[in-house]
Structure 1
């Protein structure tokens, strides 16, 4: 059931970066470029950027760790382990999940799951997917999914 015909598509996801510069640099290695930057003193936001992937129409918003606006979970303090919240992972379609995994590790990501192949099946259909997962330098989980048709 379609609830809202006004929605035209997905635009961006936003993250709060513990290390703003390092996080921006990491996403630049994933072909994102800064298309706009700003500050909002009324939300204690000193630095924020909108980044666009140079290969496809996808955006990410990266805010500094002092940003004071609605979010999931509690604020993560410096040195705290990653705090689980409603965002499970960020997924990018790739040609080669193993290559994307290796490149992400070389650019500061931490290992989570090397390339694996999984069968997603139900009574009517089986779909085989190949993916890999890393923790970005900021802590969010990034999935690299080889092209698949659902």
Structure 2
């Protein structure tokens, strides 16, 4: 048996301006569960892994926590950047969450504090080698910390040979 170079995404990390509100948003609006909470050594901040339901997680840090790849001491007094400023400067474009019903997930997220970015729509698509066997429906919202969340509903991709795409292998 050969070693796999990866087994999918493990987690994404997000700094939350209001830790408790962000935990509530991801658990109540998007169906995550709190898997593990901790306080990072040498900090006063709180951290948590929120399980997406398939073993992939969203890692949350509250605002004063220093995190790998982040500023040592974030400036909490500076005004928060606008959605447009974040989009212009962030390397991470969005977090995509797979759902069975984009329209219902979009409406539910909005009732729990998300802000509308792009309403649900079908993505015009041409599949591999011109096949159009796969359907994609998606929507985008801004989360409580201006993170862009894509809600995506899609069939497994179908290859030219008619079998599921390599992601299922």
Q: Provide the TM-score with structure 1 as the length reference.
A: 0.82
| Superposed counterparts of 1:43-54, under 5 Å | 44=43, 46-53=45-52
Q: Name the structure with the higher helix share.
A: 2
Q: Name the structure with the higher strand share.
A: 1
Structure-2 change in CA distance of 1:70 and 1:25 (3 Å): same
- Deviating 4+ runs (over 4 angstroms): none
Hey, what's the Cα distance between the residues in 2 that align with 1:69 and 1:45?
Answer: 12
Q: CA deviation at 1:92?
A: 1.2
Unaligned runs of 5+ in 2: 158-169
Is the CA contact 1:45–1:64 (under 8 Å) kept in the aligned structure 2? Answer: no
Hey, what's the Cα distance between the residues in 2 that align with 1:105 and 1:118?
Answer: 21
For the pair 1:105 / 2:110, whether they are aligned, the reply is: yes
For the pair 1:81 / 2:86, whether they are aligned, the reply is: no
Structure whose CA Rg is larger? 2
Q: What residue is the counterpart of 1:28 in the other structure?
A: 27
Structure-2 change in CA distance of 1:123 and 1:21 (3 Å): closer
Q: What residue is the counterpart of 1:119 in the other structure?
A: 124
For the pair 1:13 / 2:12, whether they are aligned, the reply is: yes
* CA-based RMSD: 2.4
Hey, what's the Cα distance between the residues in 1 that align with 2:25 and 2:67?
Answer: 24
Is the CA contact 2:38–2:48 (under 8 Å) kept in the aligned structure 1? Answer: yes
Unaligned runs of 5+ in 1: none
Q: What residue is the counterpart of 2:146 in the other structure?
A: 139
Is the CA contact 2:94–2:150 (under 8 Å) kept in the aligned structure 1? Answer: yes
Number of equivalenced pairs: 144
Q: What residue is the counterpart of 1:61 in the other structure?
A: 59
Is the CA contact 1:113–1:132 (under 8 Å) kept in the aligned structure 2? Answer: yes
